[in-house]
Structure 1
Amino acid sequence: MATRLLPLIVLALSSFMIYATNMNIDCGTTTSYYTDANSIIWIGDEDLNTNGIVRTVGKDNSNSYVMDSMRVFTSLNRNCYDIPSTSGNKVFIRTSFYYGNYDGKSAPPSFLLTLDGNSWVTVETTSNTVVSHEAIWVVKGDTVSICLCQTKSGQVPFISALQVYDMDSSMYSKVSDSFTLFTAFRVSYGTDQTIRYSDDAYDRIWNPASIGTGLLVKTNDNPLSSTDLPDQPPVAVFANAITTLSISQSIQATIPVALSPVYINFYFSEVTQLDTTTDSRLFRIFMNNNSISGPISPPYGDALEMSFANLNLTSDTIFSLDATGNSTLPPIISAMEVFQVVAGLNAQTNSLDFDGLSQIFKTFSTKQQSLWGGDPCLPAPYSWDWIGCSSDTMPRVTELNVSGYGLSGSLPDFSSMTALEIIDLSDNSFSGGILDFLGTFPNLKQLNLANNQFSGPIPSSISKNNKIKFTVTGNPDVCATGSSCATLDSTPTSVGTTPTPFVVTSRKKKSNTGAIVGSIVPIFVVFWAVVGGLVVRHKRQKAAMAAVGGVGAGTGVQGSAGGVVGQKPNGNVNQNPEASPAYLLGKQFGAGVTEEIIDNQQQHQGDEQNNNHNYNNV
């Protein structure tokens, strides 16, 4: 019994992991979930991205189980991972990339990484090192979208791992939630081991710092079990610290890149119990020889965090810790974080288009999952492959093109997308009626519904709109008007912007019966009724005249075998007038024709010729 239940337990756990708050995604792995040496539980990405192909690094270049697999994206303009979240959540995100010469080309690619429709960073991968990028971001919707965009021909994007953790909203709050923090570096001083999960609940990676000459490593003789610092560094970073050999020396840190502005955290903890009667440790933080702090005295058995926001760094900026004049001990430091502060990452596609696209997404997302992800239009020019966008600061969707995407079912209502100029839904299997809203877009120029399974009448919003180039070929069950809804047959014809801007045709020719087009139907009925009445009336007139001596014999319309009574739309002459529409209609109308002869044969012949001329011009 236990054996049979195990698959169900595994399935339930896997499902839970996919929608858990904290996600560690091993991209391209063939394992549903597993726990690594750091006690991190990893899941696969099959339920998060159906596009791309799985690749693995060869044994000669192996790095770790997580990094040795990847998902490679050889198609689409942009490929995304949408991670469920909640608007207003503060999240920590890390993306990791390990090339490892998986393709044997020895050509590590570069590509663009985006975050919720905003350009994040150009990823420059290397042959044999893991490249990671981190962000602290406040979620704007109900998902976090991380996307990879190909920017150079032949350089295919890939990703090895993706991690997303919810953070306490009070963390890193020295800057407004409208700003984004991108990690420049994070180091722990005095250790030779990387510190991460489970020491750090958010799996922030604290790399061991290189120690220069003249510096000493000190071990804390009272290891911390917890801290209440606002940005919640792991207590493991306070197990060690570095200091100088003498009070006259300073601890210096050089930032090798220009960043502006930055957010910096310095972390301190006293490593030994001081005799306050004889010993003191006091120092200040300097930036390019300018003091940016007051005197700092690290606590023993506890920790201290000093944060600085909106600092501007150049590539030769130097931070230094210098003892004050009344200190008896040199400065000390345990850890440090540096972030770039980025503003303005809040742009998004117009909400009207979001609403319309969300309706399409709800209807078809399970059928073409790779089509969705991230902001529809941003960043330009990496919009979704099947839409076109304006260049506005808040762009509008101007083109919707899902031709040949294998979609089926009824169309949802996306009428809120009022900037649409082109709609191409051709070569799918859409079914149901043609919805009226499709003809109401104020800027619409082209509407292509060809080769689907639509049925029923064409709405007047389309049939009477001569601004739209409308194509509906290949939909056998579509008819011109509600009163003429029968399957129509003809050679497929594209429709242009003419006074009658549509032609309803079927995909195959089933018979030689003429197609009924637009408002021509009632004209046919009226015309043949008139002709039929005239034929009957003429026969009676002729019979009456014969009875009074054959007046007018040999002139006018000939008998049933000789005259052209009616012509089919395909040009064939009716050889049997009694089977023609004119004759049948004539029989019906003939009963109401008076016996009185009021027209002569010449006038009647002229009327019939005019009617035939008018029909041929219809």
Structure 2
Amino acid sequence: MVEKSASSIVSISKKKVTWSGMGWFKHFILAFLGGFALIHLVHAQDQTGFISIDCGLTANSSYKEATTGLNYISDATFIETGESKKISTEFKGSYQQQVWSLRSFPQGIRNCYRINITQGTKYLIRATFLYGNYDGQSKLPQFDLHLGPNLWDTVIIKNVSIGVFKELIHVPSLNNLQVCLVNTDLGTPFISAIELRPLNSNAYVTQSGSLALLARTDDGSVTNISYRYGDDVYDRFWQPDNYYKGIVTSHTIDSQGNEYQPPSVVMSSAAIPEKDSSTLTFNWKAENATSEYYIYMHFAEVVDLKANQSRSFNITVNGKFFYGPFVPDYLSTVTVYSPSALMIAKNYEVSIFKTENSTLPPILNAVEIYSVRDFPYSETDQQDLDAITKIKSSYGVKRNWQGDPCVPQAYSWEGLNCSYDDYNPPRIISLNLSSSGLTGEITVDISNLQMLQYLDLSNNSLTGSVPDFLSQLQYLRVINLERNQLTGSVPTKLIEKSKNGSLSLRGLAVYIENFNIQY
């Protein structure tokens, strides 16, 4: 890669060019799902690493979606709450099968899916919502969508028959992902599908934060067809944009050496201005005063130029020279993108205009625009999360324990207290399962809550002896085991800690005659 100019933050290689910029598309239609009937029918490709969840599908069910060949499974193993519903039959004909059913959440403030993934992998995460008057009430809800403990976006359903999707490029820090629906008292939350697609780790690199999709368009489209998996190896949605005149080639566009790999069928058409001397322009308004954006523009020459023809152009952002002169490669994709977020502005305008020596107008084949999502809350420590999840499963805890146990604090699990600081993940320091209908022995999973200070298992039906591992929890200061059915011996170290005042043992006096206490 040859450095072009340090001051302009531009570098160039055979297959990609990088630059700085971002915003909202003027002609982009977010209601992509309404165009499912026009999606290109393709042959199935490799789906390695794909996770395709049909929310509300009957448990233990799966199917291959007819138009894409994608393999969908039921959400039953990923969620413990909610109700399975079906959209009204009048809406099914225009939509792919994964949105025919949905899961609604009339109970609880926060309801979460827990999905095991590969830690550190860059994923495209897509959540889809089609109301379809599933409840027969024609009441359009609004609710929040969280990724783990952090707000991802607000879902606003504006039409019974038009779907909404939210898409995020994100690198999970844990080995599981939690997608949560949060009730904000503006209607019952629901979700139709969750899809995860592993991406090239060298693509969509940000200086910080994750990327939320604003627009992804097939510019100069002459077919008015939307494309996704089969054509796109990463199953990105490409929306046709025919605002400008289009030119097209029947030849294959090579994107194999390009880290973003936009589909050949998308790259085979390009937008050009009506007049050769005109400029290609697109613009958008910032979501708010602090919004930051990344942009990815994909170019390929689709005309086999004659000796007396040339095409070169410059790019400006908000009237300032950004990059050029640029000459697109014939039948080969070059991606111009921002290695850092564009300078913050209220409005953005990108202009592409031909150079003085160019005989042909500028082109644009495809573009992607993303806004930065900073997720300030760290997830609960992985070991603590695994431990409390196993405790929940072992005892069949009936409380609405959904999402991250500790964060955000407003939704922390009932019976838990956590420690918080600016440098480390939250840790569980208190566990209160009093009067929770617990049976069996005291689970060894508690031993993995290594920062635990307070443990209350009182008023249950626990049996067996007090386990020795409790004495290994060095920060434990209070244990309450009152009103259980414990028998056997009490570990010596627990007795010693009780005698020296470093540990309060509550409830053991009730069983003192049954315990074989060794000093």
Query: Into which bin does the TM-score normalised by the smaller protein fall?
Result: 0.7 to 0.9
Distance in structure 2 (CA, Å) of the matches to 1:274 and 1:392: 61
1:358/1:452 Cα in 2 relative to 1: closer, same or farther (>3 Å)?
A: farther
Distance in structure 2 (CA, Å) of the matches to 1:430 and 1:344: 40
1:446/1:316 Cα in 2 relative to 1: closer, same or farther (>3 Å)?
A: same
Partner SS, residue 99 of structure 1: coil
Equivalent in the alignment of 1:279: 309
The yes-or-no answer on 1:470 pairing with 2:506 is: yes
1:55/1:228 Cα in 2 relative to 1: closer, same or farther (>3 Å)?
A: same
Bigger proportion of residues as helix: 1
Letter in 2 for 1:132: F
Percent pairwise identity: 32
The yes-or-no answer on 1:317 pairing with 2:348 is: yes
1:77/1:367 Cα in 2 relative to 1: closer, same or farther (>3 Å)?
A: farther
Equivalent in the alignment of 2:112: 80
From 368, 386, 393, the equivalent of 1:358 is: 386
**TM-aligned CA deviation for residue 442 of structure 1:** 7.7
1:25/1:356 Cα in 2 relative to 1: closer, same or farther (>3 Å)?
A: closer
From 159, 176, 189, the equivalent of 1:143 is: 176
Equivalent in the alignment of 1:237: 266
**TM-aligned CA deviation for residue 436 of structure 1:** 5.2
From 256, 260, 279, the equivalent of 2:285 is: 256
From 183, 203, 209, the equivalent of 1:179 is: 209
The yes-or-no answer on 1:33 pairing with 2:62 is: yes
The yes-or-no answer on 1:22 pairing with 2:22 is: no
**TM-aligned CA deviation for residue 23 of structure 1:** 0.8
Contact 2:214/2:369, CA 8 A, preserved across alignment: yes
Letter in 2 for 1:92: L
Distance in structure 1 (CA, Å) of the matches to 2:513 and 2:347: 74
From 127, 130, 138, the equivalent of 2:159 is: 127
TM-score between both structures, scaled by the size of structure 1: 0.66
Distance in structure 2 (CA, Å) of the matches to 1:106 and 1:462: 62
Contact 1:170/1:230, CA 8 A, preserved across alignment: yes
Equivalent in the alignment of 2:378: 347
1:484/1:88 Cα in 2 relative to 1: closer, same or farther (>3 Å)?
A: closer
Contact 2:498/2:505, CA 8 A, preserved across alignment: no
Distance in structure 1 (CA, Å) of the matches to 2:394 and 2:465: 23
Deviates most, 281-290 or 442-451: 442-451
Distance in structure 2 (CA, Å) of the matches to 1:298 and 1:52: 51
Partner SS, residue 135 of structure 2: coil
From 59, 84, 88, the equivalent of 1:54 is: 84
Distance in structure 1 (CA, Å) of the matches to 2:365 and 2:394: 49
**TM-aligned CA deviation for residue 480 of structure 1:** 4.7
Contact 1:444/1:468, CA 8 A, preserved across alignment: no
Letter in 2 for 1:319: V
Contact 1:377/1:389, CA 8 A, preserved across alignment: yes
Letter in 1 for 2:362: P
Q: After TM superposition, list the pairs within 5 Å mapping 1:217-616 onto structure 2.
A: 217-224=246-253, 226-258=255-287, 260-276=291-307, 278-308=308-338, 309-343=340-374, 347-349=378-380, 351=381, 354-362=382-390, 364-365=392-393, 368=396, 374-393=403-422, 394-410=425-441, 411-412=443-444, 414-415=446-447, 417=449, 420=452, 422-435=454-467, 438=470, 447-457=479-489, 459-460=494-495, 464=499, 468=504, 470-471=506-507, 478-480=511-513, 482-483=515-516
How many aligned residue pairs are there? 455
**TM-aligned CA deviation for residue 356 of structure 1:** 4.4
Task: Provide, for residues 486-523 of structure 1, a one-character-per-residue CA deviation record: whole Å limited to 9, x for no partner.
Answer: xxxxxxxxxxxxxxxxxxxxxxxxxxxxxxxxxxxxxx
Equivalent in the alignment of 1:169: 201
Could you say which structure has the larger radius of gyration? 1
1:348/1:295 Cα in 2 relative to 1: closer, same or farther (>3 Å)?
A: same
Q: Structure 1: where are the runs of 5+ without partners?
A: 1-18, 486-618
Partner SS, residue 381 of structure 1: helix
Partner SS, residue 80 of structure 1: strand
Q: Structure 2: where are the runs of 5+ without partners?
A: 1-46
Distance in structure 1 (CA, Å) of the matches to 2:435 and 2:109: 17
Contact 1:457/1:479, CA 8 A, preserved across alignment: no
Letter in 2 for 1:290: K
1:196/1:237 Cα in 2 relative to 1: closer, same or farther (>3 Å)?
A: same
Distance in structure 2 (CA, Å) of the matches to 1:99 and 1:461: 61
**TM-aligned CA deviation for residue 53 of structure 1:** 1.4
Distance in structure 1 (CA, Å) of the matches to 2:73 and 2:445: 36
**TM-aligned CA deviation for residue 181 of structure 1:** 1.6
**TM-aligned CA deviation for residue 225 of structure 1:** 5.6
Larger RCO, structure (CA 8 Å, separation 6 or more): 2
Task: Provide, for residues 233-284 of structure 1, a one-character-per-residue CA deviation record: whole Å limited to 9, x for no partner.
Answer: 11111121110122321111112333732211101111211113x2111111
**TM-aligned CA deviation for residue 77 of structure 1:** 4.5
Contact 2:477/2:502, CA 8 A, preserved across alignment: no
Partner SS, residue 266 of structure 2: helix
Task: Provide, for residues 331-357 of structure 1, a one-character-per-residue CA deviation record: whole Å limited to 9, x for no partner.
Answer: 1111100112334557233x4xx4345
**TM-aligned CA deviation for residue 45 of structure 1:** 0.8
Letter in 1 for 2:378: A
Letter in 2 for 1:187: T
Distance in structure 2 (CA, Å) of the matches to 1:189 and 1:92: 22
Contact 1:421/1:443, CA 8 A, preserved across alignment: yes
Partner SS, residue 260 of structure 2: coil
Contact 2:169/2:210, CA 8 A, preserved across alignment: yes
**TM-aligned CA deviation for residue 195 of structure 1:** 0.8
Distance in structure 1 (CA, Å) of the matches to 2:482 and 2:430: 17
Contact 1:408/1:429, CA 8 A, preserved across alignment: yes
- Tell me how large the CA RMSD over aligned residues is: 3.2
Deviates most, 264-273 or 135-144: 135-144
The yes-or-no answer on 1:188 pairing with 2:224 is: no
Distance in structure 2 (CA, Å) of the matches to 1:75 and 1:439: 39
Letter in 2 for 1:431: T
Letter in 2 for 1:171: A
